[in-house]
């Protein structure tokens, strides 16, 4: 998460200009009727938003104006599907804002980094998996869970560092040349946390995952009567 003090006004305005249409599009595409009429969906949605909010509270704030915490949006996207995931991420952001852990001015930039990009990366991975139509749930777990979370962490970190470098208000660390070595300390835990959550949901509560094709992954294997 990036503080407003290390972002230029132009960057923050651009962030809002990109984040607001994304929110509007998600609100338009949300299955509001199903959410209102289905109590189970309501419990999954609000429980996921609360868990995401708690995850974002586990953070390390630095005096330089940036904060580090796990993203967790890969598991949220697989649970809720992309429209509700964006709305849930926005609600978690508003919770952070109410507690003083986020600036209103930089909320657009942070929304793109912590919500928009993770949701789009996870959705793209899910679409590629569905296009291949694998029958093994391990493909879903690895490609949509572990791999999507790792790619999300990498892209968000690189884009955040790029924004800070272009803005020129953030004092870049002297160890930037060793940056690649530190990437693994961020990418692997993000992939592990999301992957473990997705694995547990596939095993114990597959009906909670809106992006999980239960009829294909969990159907009994077809047996030819002539071979028995």
The model's pLDDT over 107-162, given as tens digits with 9 standing for 90+, comes to 999 999 999 999 999 999 999 999 998 888 999 999 999 999 999 999 999 999 88
Total Cβ atoms within 10 A of residue 84:
26
Q: What confidence tens digit (pLDDT) does each residue in 164-193 have?
A: 888 887 777 666 666 666 788 889 999 999
Which residues are CB-contacts of 191 (< 8 A; sequence separation ≥ 6)?
Answer: 146, 147, 149, 150, 153
Assign 3-class secondary structure to 69-132: ECCCHHHHHHHHCHHHHHHHHHHHHHHHHHCCCCCCCCHHHHHHHHHHHHHHHHHHHHHHHHHH
Dihedral sign (CA 41, 23, 153, 149) = positive
Quick: pLDDT tens for 8-51: 999 999 999 999 999 999 999 999 999 999 999 999 999 999 99
> What pLDDT does residue 186 have?
87
**What is the value of pTM for the model shown?**
0.92
Query: What are the b/e assignments for 135-157, b being 16+ CB within 10 Å?
Result: eebeebbbbbbbbbbbbbbbebb
Place of tokens 């109410």: 98
Q: What are phi and psi of 86, to 5 degrees?
A: -65, -40
- Cα three-residue angle 195-113-84, rounded to 5 degrees: 65
Banded model confidence at residue 222, pLDDT cuts 50, 70, 90: very low
Q: How far apart are CA 173 and CA 223, in angstroms?
A: 61
- Type and span of the H or E element at 61: strand 59-61
């Amino acid at each position: 998460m990036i503080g407003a003090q290390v972002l230029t006004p132009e960057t923050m305005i651009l962030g809002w200009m990109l984040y607001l249409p994304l929110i509007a599009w998600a609100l338009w595409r949300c299955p509001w009727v199903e959410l209102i009429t289905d109590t189970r969906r309501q419990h999954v949605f609000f429980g996921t938003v609360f868990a995401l909010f708690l995850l974002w509270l586990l953070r390390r704030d630095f005096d330089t104006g940036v904060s580090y915490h796990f993203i967790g949006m890969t598991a949220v996207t697989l649970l809720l599907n992309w429209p509700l995931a964006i709305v849930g991420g926005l609600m978690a952001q508003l919770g952070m804002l109410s507690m003083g852990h986020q600036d209103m001015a930089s909320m657009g930039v942070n929304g793109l980094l912590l919500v928009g990009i993770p949701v789009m990366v996870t959705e793209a991975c899910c679409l590629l998996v569905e296009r291949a139509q694998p029958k093994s749930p391990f493909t879903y777990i690895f490609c949509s869970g572990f791999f999507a979370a790792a790619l999300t962490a990498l892209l968000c970190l690189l884009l955040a560092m790029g924004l800070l470098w272009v803005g020129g208000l953030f004092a870049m660390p002297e160890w930037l040349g060793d940056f690649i070595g530190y990437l693994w300390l961020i990418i692997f835990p993000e992939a592990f946390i999301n992957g473990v959550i997705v694995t547990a949901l596939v095993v114990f509560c597959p009906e909670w995952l809106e992006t999980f094709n239960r009829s294909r992954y969990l159907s009994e294997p077809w047996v030819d009567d002539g071979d028995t």
